[in-house]
Amino acid sequence: MVTAKTVHESPRETNILTEADVVVVGAGPAGVTAAIAAAREGADTILMDRYGHLGGMATGGLVLMFNPSAGQGQEWMDRLNKVNGVHDLSRTSEPEWGHTRMVDPELLKCILNDMTLETGVRLLLHSWSSAAVVDNNTVKGVIFESKSGRQAVMGKVIIDATGDGDVYASAGAEFDASLDKGYRTSEMAMVFRIGGINFDKFAEFRKVQPQEWVKLREEGFELAGFHIAPIPGQRQDVFWVNNFIRGKNCLKVEDLNWVEVNVRKIMIPLYSFYKKVVPGFENSYLYDSASQIGTRGSRRLIGAHVLTGEEAKTGKKFDDTVLIFPRGVPLSWPADRPPENVEMPYRCLVPVKLDGLLAAGRCFSSDQAANSMFNVISHCIQMGQAAGTAAALAVQSKVQPREIDIKGLQKRLIAQGVELP
Ligand SMILES: Cc1cc2nc3c(=O)[nH]c(=O)nc-3n(C[C@H](O)[C@H](O)[C@H](O)COP(=O)(O)OP(=O)(O)OC[C@H]3O[C@@H](n4cnc5c(N)ncnc54)[C@H](O)[C@@H]3O)c2cc1C
């Protein structure tokens, strides 16, 4: 039935395509890692994503700046290094970015495919999860849409690694989606790159006339209408243009449209401006733009523990710590960063009431301050590793994720090379 404001959909039977021990929804840094971790622990694992490649923001979103990290994060780096896919910015004239690495997104897509397939993870790409299947307070699967229509995948443990908490939101878990100005997670983006740069010429210009570069960069901000950060990319002849769009919400389709259209509008004027005025950019051109819109922050689970900015700053310790955020990693840390490693308890991945479900990655249980600090690739990889390992343990022990033996999980993680206190 159709009214002026609504369309009534009839109830229908949905076919179950397949089932697995662990179903991971979302193949960004957290989801890929969770799936590999679960499969390595012996779980039959499915990894689903709405797009055709793995990596989420780290590939499709062109978010290419990685901090070093232990566990699976180090494996990503080792594999990328072997194919010349990492550029260490400390080796360039970019001292402020010296702690970080720029990766090649295309090589990373291939490497993540290799890593998942080698581990026996079953990939379900081009599949958009639209609803959780919940029975008796337990998430038992997800319904997804694809070119084959609407189908379901069932699992003993479902991991929501969609970044936006799509699965737990539709399952009825509590979450917080407030995004206050002042947190980096409130800003969206559409990253793009400028190619054909003579980096030596540009570096010389920056060295000799640093103030002039700052001035031209500021003029670029004004032209764009929002803050941008051009940084040398994985290849020195390719600049990475990060941007920061305020006041838009990635959970609103109108806002997604706005960012997509309006950032694209400024790409030609901006790179043409640099081409004209910045030494080294004379032969530059628009290299590419992200196929996946840049979402820094979104829903945050209200889990069995909500990590707060205060806990992070004071370096609070937990008995069920499953990852530490090393203090040597400056990205996203506030100026008053804590004196010690910051710990995250397993409970940040576990919903308060719902069973059968874990959340991993940027939608983990945290307040805005903690999320803004820890929602970076290396930390999301670590969360994925903890969630995937925990899911496999839950399946093996035939218990709910909230009931697993935490000491056993911590031992498994340490055996995998994860650093724990
Ligand atoms: C512009 C920008 C700059 C950033 N800069 C940095 C930086 O310099 N360094 C850094 O470390 N971090 C940075 N970040 C943060 C970093 O990108 C995130 O912390 C990280 O990517 C989060 O990983 P994730 O796996 O939780 O989510 P995502 O990377 O968002 O991955 C989520 C995955 O889920 C899939 N998905 C979503 N919904 C569904 C659905 N309903 N069904 C099926 N699949 C779905 C998506 O396609 C995607 O593959 C930046 C982020 C942005 C946007």
Q: Which residues pair with 139 in a beta bridge?
A: 134
CA distance 88 to 102: 6
Ligand 1 atom 34, closest CA = 26
Q: Which residue numbers in the chain have pLDDT < 50?
A: 93, 330-331
Q: Where are the domains of the chain?
A: 15-182+298-415, 188-295
CA distance 148 to 350: 32
Domain 15-182+298-415 shares a fold with domain 188-295: no
- Residue 101's pLDDT is 78
Ligand 1 atom 21, closest CA = 57
Q: Rounded to two decimals, what is the model's pTM?
A: 0.95
- 373: its two tokens: 């600090």
CA distance 135 to 237: 54
- Residue 240's pLDDT is 85
Domain formed by 188-295, architecture? 2-Layer Sandwich (3.30)
Ligand 1 atom 17, closest CA = 57
- Residue 318's pLDDT is 96
Domain formed by 15-182+298-415, architecture? 3-Layer(bba) Sandwich (3.50)
CA distance 9 to 2: 9
> Are 290 and 309 contacting, i.e. CB atoms less than 8 angstroms apart?
no
Give residues (CB < 6 A) around ligand 1: 25-31, 48-51, 56-58, 61, 63, 65-67, 128-129, 161-164, 166, 189, 191, 242, 294-296, 331, 361-362, 375-378, 380
- Residue 68's pLDDT is 67
pLDDT tens, residue by residue, 251-308:
999 999 999 999 999 999 998 999 999 999 999 999 999 999 999 999 999 999 999 9
Best mutation site among 243, 373, 376, 383 for ligand 1 pocket (most ligand atoms within 8 Å of CB):
376
- Residue 385's pLDDT is 97
Provide the CB-side half-sphere exposure for 407 (13 A, CA).
0
Mean pLDDT taken over the chain: 91
Q: Which residues contact 136 (CB under 8 A, 6 or more apart)?
A: none
- Residue 97's pLDDT is 55
